[in-house]
Amino acid sequence: MSLDPRAIQVYTDGSCYKNPGGHSGCAAIVSYPDHLGLGEEQIVDFGCTESSNNRMELLACIRALEWIRSNSPWAGVARVQIVTDSQYVHKNLNHALTWQRNRWRSIHGEPKANVDLWRRLLYLRAKVGVTVHFEWTLGKKSPILKAVDKAAKGAAKRVRLNSDRGFRPGVVARSMVKGAAVRFPAKGQSLVIRPYRKSLAAKGEERVRFDTFSEESQSFTASCYAYANPLIARELHRHHGYRVRFNEKPQYPQILEILEEVELPV
């Protein structure tokens, strides 16, 4: 990360307890260049009853862009740097324009999440009226990064009347495997799975999160996600075991068929 001493830096962070679906919040703190003679200032302080960590990271950047749009220009300031420690935001900023052109799907056809927030972020970045660069940093390594992390967690902990209207929790249950669900490497294989969460991904399509099950070791091996049409998704009940057949697209995995129900160990 390269910071410009004559730029305004806005540090953002998001937080979610029991991600996804827990109390959530986001914050942003602005640091002005020395020539403006201004101190650090918290400009975003938002909390809601339920959301996700990725949505809060995005919302922090959106609220920062809204603040920039309302307060710019500043004398002697040619650009603003928005600093985030979110890999999700950092990795997808450039992809989001492609998703938008492709009706919010990847080049492989996979429907993308958090479309409402990505659409708002792209709109504001184009309309903000000043050059804005996004910078990624490893979080919590400086006093201001620690401060914005604390502010985001504090916003999540406080009882608020706010809501994240774009959040779609779906039906949530617990995975048997630690860690976030990853995209299933679909290669046309048949496999036993244990669904634990379903949510709407796009019109006529649901994202199904599931644990993969090894019949050889009689153990759960990974937490993954794939897509299914509503008819198939409806038959995939939580905590049940199913042998299913996948497509052959590792970048856009789909459950094509339920072959049989399988008894799983308790």
Looking at 127, 157, 187, the residue that finishes a domain is: 157
What is the model's pLDDT at position 241? 96
Using DSSP's 3-state secondary structure scheme, residue 95 falls into helix
Q: Identify the CA nearest to 258 among candidates 224, 239, 231.
A: 231
Looking at 134, 157, 180, the residue that finishes a domain is: 157
244: in domain = yes
162: in domain = no
Using DSSP's 3-state secondary structure scheme, residue 208 falls into strand
Are 48 and 126 in a shared domain?
yes
Are 116 and 84 in a shared domain?
yes
What is the model's pLDDT at position 113? 93
In the chain, the number of structural domains is 2
Domain harbouring 257, CATH code: 2.40.50.140
Per-residue model confidence as pLDDT tens for the chain (266 residues): 789 999 999 999 999 998 888 999 999 999 999 999 999 999 999 999 999 999 999 999 999 999 999 999 999 999 999 999 999 999 999 999 999 999 999 999 999 999 999 999 999 999 999 999 999 998 788 999 999 999 999 999 986 778 898 988 766 678 999 988 999 999 999 999 999 999 989 888 999 999 999 999 999 999 999 999 999 999 999 989 999 999 999 999 999 999 999 999 87
Is the N-terminal amide bond of 33 cis, ω within 30° of 0? no
257 has which bridge partners? Answer: 245
What is the model's pLDDT at position 2? 85
Full domain range(s) for residue 150: 8-157
What is the model's pLDDT at position 141? 84
- Give this prediction's pTM: 0.87
2: in domain = no
What is the model's pLDDT at position 265? 85
Nearest 10 degrees: Cα torsion 153, 155, 158, 161: -140
Domain harbouring 76, CATH code: 3.30.420.10
CA dist 200 → 172, 177, 227 (Å): 12, 22, 10
Q: Tell me the C-alpha distance between 161 and 166, whole Å.
A: 15
Are 57 and 115 in a shared domain?
yes
CA dist 162 → 22, 24, 25, 35, 110 (Å): 13, 10, 10, 37, 31
